Amino acid sequence: MVKKYTLLLALCLPIASLADEGMWLINSFANVYMQMKEKGLVLNPEEIYNQDGPSLAGAVVAVDGGMGTGSMVSANGLMITNHHVAYGDIHALSTPDKNYLEDGFWALERKEEIPIKNKSVTFVRKVVDVTDEVMFLMDSIFPTGRMGPFGARRVYSLVEKRHAQAENTPYEPSCYSFFKGELYLLFYLDTYTDVRLVGAPPERLGAFGGETDNWGWPQHKCDFALYRVYGDLDGRPADYAPENVPLNPIKYLSVSTSGVQDGDFAMIIGFPGRTARYQSSFSVEQKYQIINPIAYKSRRDLLDVMLTRMEADPALRLLYADKYFSISNYTDYARWENICLRRYDVAGVRAQEEMKLQQWIDTSPEHKETKGNLLYRLAKGYAARAQAIRERTYFQEAWFRSGELYPAASRLNAVTMNMTRRNIPSVQWNDSILTFFVNNADRLYAKADWSTERDCFIKLAPQFVANVSDDLRGQQFKELIEQHNGDARALFTWAADNTVIRIREVLEHFFSTPRTVEEIQSDPMVALVSSVTALSFNNKIQEIDKTLGWDTDSLETLYARMIYKMRKDQGVAQYPDANSTMRFTYGTVGPLSALDAVHYDSRSTIRGYMEKYDPDNFEFRVDNKMQTLIKAADWGRWGEKGELYVNFLTDNDITGGNSGSPVLNGNGHLIGLAFDGNRESMAGDIHFHPQYFKTVSVDIRFVLWVMDKYAGAGKLIEELTLVRE
């Protein structure tokens, strides 16, 4: 039986005409549905997902292609998601004079709403099983089974094009693979691009606790933001235009004001990005031993440089706020993921299942002949690759992601490659071949502080030199470091201080006269970048595989498929890894016993704001207005027995992409927004632990209180359908 904790059974399951794999999943869904009913679900399956009529799924949208999740909450196109999903938009709109990150933003009139360039929200309108069709095309086009890196995409495009033409659909068909190619589903997507910011609390509410509280509990974040979705006069997607009208969605969510209690049913619908729960023990060990430690150290060093600068200069804090937020989120995750991988012995759990897999393979003559040495080869392949993977990770983290200097120099190097390919002897400032580079450089100068970028590069790049062998660094790189007596820090300081990219005026002056390929490549940063390429690291790994006689990555994919086949053969219900398609998870509200003698309640209250308040800590600021409101304790209709609850815990199963997902009660009414996991769940992308995995959500009543009492945005509340059970 699928436990109530398990993640992401596709919402498209209760549909007709599925192939064998899809029908097997429907049977699994039937078992899950009965468990949901026992826990408090009141709805019928078609009220959760129904492609022929209104359902909860019809109110849930992928934000920016799945970077987050939102939900429609009014008949006038109002959409709610997390503040941190909207953070990049709020940051981009903020200026020192109109700092929406600091002050918040509220559009109480439609004319005040701000269109967001390149913003999109996507509805799932229909899902069709195309497994047989995809597999037929793969066998026809690639009879040897070797598709290459873009082979699957080629097949998907053919399927998508055929269905779009045959049905003359207004929606965009998009094909996705499940269970590493055992099941293929075609999602019909409806994407709206006229999306306008309506409301967001200031960062000190929306991100209260900042990096310190990230992934922790208890939290006290008012993590929400509001947008409005617009369409043309017929309600169809259209680019921004003043005459566009708010979308009247097929379905929007009602909002519950009843609150939550321990044991209450909770369901989450959203667009989780990626999980790896069919990963081998060898792959888990690689992440634990190599990838996460390097990523954490490199990104922590990067953040420390940025934070020092940000704390010294409010203008730099605004400039780097979005970038710092993005980097810090994964940095903390990598650290806690390793703690959880060790604590729950995830590699050991996988190894135990691999013993069962080997036994299952050995019982089948066919499997034993073709896959009998699968685990042996995986073990040998990962061991042989370990040093090469370590070096590639240092290239990615300490070199490629060392800040903005590397990508800027890489783009300038691309200009020289273009010149060589087109046989152009020289270029200067106004030549069209420089246009793309100059435009990107201008954006860089606008969004980055060069002194900060210099310090980031000098801090990280020496780690690359110390941990990557000479054979992966080109001749020019070797010559330059020899010129600096092997002192990597001295080399990178010289390169950063002398590159023409460092200042726009210097760059423009450099190209004021025609420059040859040789002159451009003599720039110290271009020389370094062109001398070290990702191709050399990938080639080294491929050479190792060639020596072994097999592709370890392909064996990892085969392993996942064999685990799936074994579980299916043994009647073990399972779910596909997340891949940014719509999924749901259900569970209950409840407390957390995190460690021996450490117990947390399931709900946090407004009291936490003043308990954590620290005027000297940017992350724990509480402004005068909030302090006055808290002291007055006027919770209005949003309180409960004299308390105002802020965040709560459920044992739902989410991952990145679920941010902003609606948390729904048994009647399908909105009770909160998912925004985080707890630190004890940080192995969740690889392994779900039913006892410790928790989802952190903002109580919708706290959202309404902030809109009502703090922001004075009662007019927006009037758009909502409030219910009290």
Among 91, 107, 111, residue whose Cα is nearest residue 99: 91
Contact 719, 252 (CB under 8 A): no
Q: How far is CA 67 from CA 163, 180, 332, in A?
A: 26, 22, 19
Contact 195, 227 (CB under 8 A): yes
- Sorted by sequence, the CB contacts under 8 Å of residue 191 that are 6+ apart come out as 120, 121, 122, 123, 172, 237
Q: Classify residue 56 by burial, with Cβ atoms within 10 Å: 0-12, 13-18, 19+.
A: buried
Contact 479, 522 (CB under 8 A): no
Size (the chain), residues? 725
From the list 55, 177, 328, 659, the catalytic residue is 659
697 is catalytic: no
From the list 129, 190, 213, 223, the catalytic residue is 223
Q: Is the peptide bond before 202 cis (omega within 30 degrees of 0)?
A: no
| CA angle in degrees (0–180, nearest 5) for 177-181-183 | 65
Measured between alpha carbons, how far is 623 from 600 in angstroms, rounded to an integer?
Answer: 27
Cβ neighbour number for residue 441 with a 10 Å cutoff: 19
Sign of CA dihedral 57, 60, 63, 69: negative
From the list 28, 71, 83, 84, the catalytic residue is 84
| CA angle in degrees (0–180, nearest 5) for 130-132-133 | 65
Measured between alpha carbons, how far is 244 from 230 in angstroms, rounded to an integer?
Answer: 6
- Residue type at 207 in one-letter notation: A
Measured between alpha carbons, how far is 479 from 481 in angstroms, rounded to an integer?
Answer: 6
The alpha helices in 585-719, defined as continuous H runs, are 607-612, 624-632, 700-705, 714-717
Strands 255-256 and 722-723, bridge-based pairing: parallel
Measured between alpha carbons, how far is 69 from 257 in angstroms, rounded to an integer?
Answer: 22
Among 578, 467, 448, 461, residue whose Cα is nearest residue 524: 461
- Sorted by sequence, the CB contacts under 8 Å of residue 440 that are 6+ apart come out as 408, 411
509 is catalytic: no
φ, ψ of residue 718 in degrees (nearest 5): -60, -25
223 is catalytic: yes
Half-sphere exposure of 505 (CA within 13 A, CB side): 0
Contact 330, 214 (CB under 8 A): no
The DSSP 8-state label assigned to residue 634 in this structure reads -
- Residue type at 322 in one-letter notation: D
What positions carry a catalytic annotation?
84, 223, 659
